[in-house]
Amino acid sequence: MRIAFVAANREVLPDPVIPLGLLSVLEACPSTHERLFLDLCFEPEPERALRDFVREQKPELVALSLRNLQSADYSDAHSNVQAYARLVAAVREVSEAPVVLGGGGYSLMPEALLERLGADFGVAGEGEVVFPALVEALTTGGDTAEVAGLYRRVEGRAHAPRTMPPFVDLATLKFVSRRRVDRRHYAASGIESVQTKRGCPLHCSYCTYPTIEGHQSRLRPPSHVADELQHIRLEAPEVDHFFVVDSVFNLPRRHALAVSDAIAERGIDLPWTCYANPLGFDGELAEHMVAAGCVGIEVGSDSGSDTVLAKLGKSFDAAAIREAHRVAESAGLLDCHTFLLGTPGETLDEVKRSLDFIVDLAPSAAILMVWNDDAEALVPPSASPRTELRQSILDLLSAQAASQGRWVVPPLGKRFDARRFSLLRRRGLSGPLWQHLG
Ligand code: B12
């Protein structure tokens, strides 16, 4: 079968990211099939590019990866859903090939999106087992309704899978070929994406990660992670940094330790950053991470108030955030903390206390987001709702952000805009840009 794998993501803030998940699904598909690949990230006219590609290449199946439902900017978070619908329509104009949807964004609303975009099939969560099973059914004339984990649209209505497949055994995954990656990704940021596990054991009330990856931690053998980094060195020598895309790198702690040691033992000399949780982050682990090349951690701290942290189902309190900062600083790691202000039930006083907390914490960078009830909405808000609380928080932030050089405030575009980012890159700065605020 001739299959077109198409990456639909066009977000470039804070940096463009390689379509790691889609490429992994491509690798999992037997090479007896013809596997074509198109990345729309840098295409000035994505619909036309896709239409031309499909017209010329005549795929018999189109796999469309939908990573982000929204833009990076939560202030007036724009929805990408209409743009995705136009892509499906562009395929339909020139081809009768079935369209299969997948990706992190798609996984959050598999039924609604299948109907709304008018595609034929969808896979929520990891695609390395379900997609090849669908290809097998389509090539052998099997019943697609029997494919475990497959959403189908029949007469305009989405049908959920009858059964779910087992999780993918990460030890069996092939390395993604970085030769297929559009070099403009590396030219833009030099950042590579690497995964050491799937699943998040935490239960933060608002978080979608477990919906995509499940709660159960499934680990890649540490030696595979180190092997993959060597493979990246060969296939993409221009890479000068990698980001660990795990929901949280340091949980389980023993895996983080083993992965760090495997990287250090190989002598892979490549700086990296990751998401870390104050839980299970201590001096010993930080030292091993640094020895493996880790230069910074991103922490979803969310609030400086214990009441709010408890309400959000966070597994730590404000004292643990301070301790994580202390540990990072003594190990020589930069730390970037994201805070989410004005969450449901939070008062303006609590927000003010959080701001005092952040000033006092003085991390390498703080990213301040303001809760937006509409952020998850499928229908794009033309302008985000300016509730009274939201507006008061934004006013507080505008007043304070000017004097806080390490605060990034995406809803106000403060230290978070494409022009500033490209200026910094042109100065040759590598890795996530928050590291260079100081
Ligand atoms: C790491 C990460 C980041 C890092 C990326 C760093 C890097 N170098 O890659 C950073 C911090 C930069 C980032 C930024 C953003 N992110 Co982000 N990110 C993630 C995270 C944690 C992991 C993504 C990842 O790489 N996973 C590993 C790969 C292997 O998995 P995957 O892409 O999901 O692919 C699998 C399946 O989805 C499926 N699949 C994928 N494509 C296809 C296609 C088909 C046809 C099929 C069948 C299956 C399939 O199979 C794949 C393999 O199993 C996810 C949350 C999560 N836990 O998934 C959010 C997530 C993807 N991000 C999200 C968002 C919104 C963003 C931003 C827009 C802003 C923000 N608020 O963070 C920006 C956009 C950046 C950009 N240019 O696109 C959302 C997207 C959904 C949504 N709500 O819109 C997610 C889901 C988190 C969330 N808030 O819900 N992100």
**Probe target for ligand 1 pocket from 22, 128, 207, with the most ligand atoms within 8 Å of CB:** 22
- Answer whether residue 77 shows pLDDT above 70: no
What is the CATH number for 51?
3.40.50.280
For 193, the enclosing helix (H) or strand (E) is strand 191-194
Q: Total structural domains in the chain?
A: 2
Tell me: do 339 and 408 sit in the same domain. yes
Distance 402 CA to ligand 1 centre (A): 31
CB atoms within 10 A of CB 238: 11
Tell me: do 305 and 392 sit in the same domain. yes
Is residue 81 included in any domain, yes or no? yes
Is residue 275 included in any domain, yes or no? yes
pLDDT for 76: 53
What is the CATH number for 339?
3.80.30.20
| Nearest residue by C-alpha to atom 2 in ligand 1 | 245
Q: Mean per-residue pLDDT for 270-285?
A: 97
228: three-class secondary structure by DSSP: helix
Ligand 1-lining residues (CB < 6 angstroms): 9, 11-12, 14, 16-17, 20-22, 24-25, 63-65, 67-70, 72, 100, 102-105, 107-108, 123, 126-128, 131, 191, 193, 195, 208-209, 212-213, 243, 245, 247
Tell me: do 155 and 37 sit in the same domain. yes
204: three-class secondary structure by DSSP: coil
Q: Are strands 334-341 and 365-370 parallel, antiparallel or unpaired?
A: parallel
- Answer whether residue 382 shows pLDDT above 70: no
Domain encompassing residue 76: 2-159
Two tokens, residue 316? 């730590």
* Ligand 1 atom showing the smallest separation from residue 123 Cα: 47
pLDDT for 35: 98
Tell me: do 42 and 91 sit in the same domain. yes
Q: Mean per-residue pLDDT for 335-354?
A: 94
Is residue 353 included in any domain, yes or no? yes
Using only the alpha carbons of the chain, give its radius of gyration: 22
pLDDT for 71: 75
List 385's β-bridge partners, or say none: none
List 70's β-bridge partners, or say none: 79
CB atoms within 10 A of CB 11: 16
Give residues with Cβ within 8 angstroms of 61, minimum separation 6: 1, 2, 3, 4, 97, 98, 100, 135, 138
Is residue 291 included in any domain, yes or no? yes
Q: Mean per-residue pLDDT for 216-233?
A: 98
Tell me: do 199 and 147 sit in the same domain. no
CA distance linking residue 397 with residue 417, whole number of Å: 17
| Nearest residue by C-alpha to atom 70 in ligand 1 | 72
- Answer whether residue 385 shows pLDDT above 60: no
pLDDT for 18: 98
Higher pLDDT, 8 or 70: 8
Provide the pLDDT confidence category of residue 72 given band limits of 50, 70 and 90: low
Is residue 215 included in any domain, yes or no? yes
Q: Mean per-residue pLDDT for 189-196?
A: 96
DSSP string, 370-396: E--TTTT-SSPPSS----HHHHHHHHH
Tell me: do 216 and 342 sit in the same domain. yes
Alpha helices in 332-375 (DSSP H): 348-361
Average pLDDT, the chain: 93
pLDDT tens-digit readout, 291-323: 999 999 999 999 999 999 999 999 999 999 999
Angle at 36 between CA 100 and CA 184, to 5 degrees: 105
CA distance linking residue 18 with residue 194, whole number of Å: 10
**Probe target for ligand 1 pocket from 6, 11, 17, with the most ligand atoms within 8 Å of CB:** 17
pLDDT cut 70: percent of the chain above it: 95
Give residues with Cβ within 8 angstroms of 354, minimum separation 6: 303, 304, 305, 308, 339, 341
Two tokens, residue 12? 């470039």
C-beta separation of 430 from 240 below 8 A? yes
Distance 8 CA to ligand 1 centre (A): 12
pLDDT for 25: 98
Tell me: do 126 and 226 sit in the same domain. no
Is residue 21 included in any domain, yes or no? yes
Provide the pLDDT confidence category of residue 183 given band limits of 50, 70 and 90: very high
